[in-house]
Amino acid sequence: MWRKVNLFMAWFLIPQTVAMGFVAAIGRVVLELLGATTREGDIPGRMVGALLLFGAVYLVLHFRGSLPPEGKPEGNGFLFGHRLVLAGNVLSSLFILFQFTHPWIESRDVLLVLDKFTDAFGYWTMACWLVGFSFLYQSSLPKKN
């Protein structure tokens, strides 16, 4: 069960991390269509965009039955791949948490340092997902003699 949640969160966090501005803009458009006035990059737009993205990933999971890569638990690198995907999910969650909470950080110096660290989290996140998905895909391949 935790493996499905791990992959679900990865597929939710990948577009949230890579295209955070576009997801927030879509949320802002929905809020504007509903009559709310928002500013660009504001938290309500980010929240609505994240909820829409969550729903889209859930619909794919519901109609497809699973999210790729599925992998085989008995295959080589399966657990290592899931651990890397989990590490990517944790780093991405920290990155997104910073994006939601940075308006409340008053010290400009702290904000600049955290901004650089979370940028680095984004790059490490992508590397963890890339290598983790590779190991998961590899675990589903038939073994060669």
Confidence band for 143, pLDDT divided at 50, 70 and 90: confident
Say what the pLDDT of residue 88 is.
Answer: 95
pLDDT by residue (tens digit) across 43-87? 888 899 999 999 999 999 999 988 888 888 888 889 999 999 999
- Distance between CA atoms of 138 and 121, rounded to whole angstroms? 25
User: For the chain, which residues make up each domain, given as ranges?
Assistant: 2-140
Between 120 and 29, the more confident residue is 29
Q: Which residue matches tokens 């038939």? A: 142
Say what the pLDDT of residue 1 is.
Answer: 79
Is 0.85 surpassed by the pTM of this model? yes
Mean pLDDT of the chain: 90
What is the number of other CB atoms lying within 10 angstroms of the CB of residue 37? 7
**Positive/negative CA dihedral, 17, 20, 26, 32:** positive
Counting Cβ atoms within 10 Å, is residue 142 exposed (0-12), middle (13-18) or buried (19+)?
exposed
Residue 21 has pLDDT above 80, yes or no: yes
Say what the pLDDT of residue 144 is.
Answer: 74
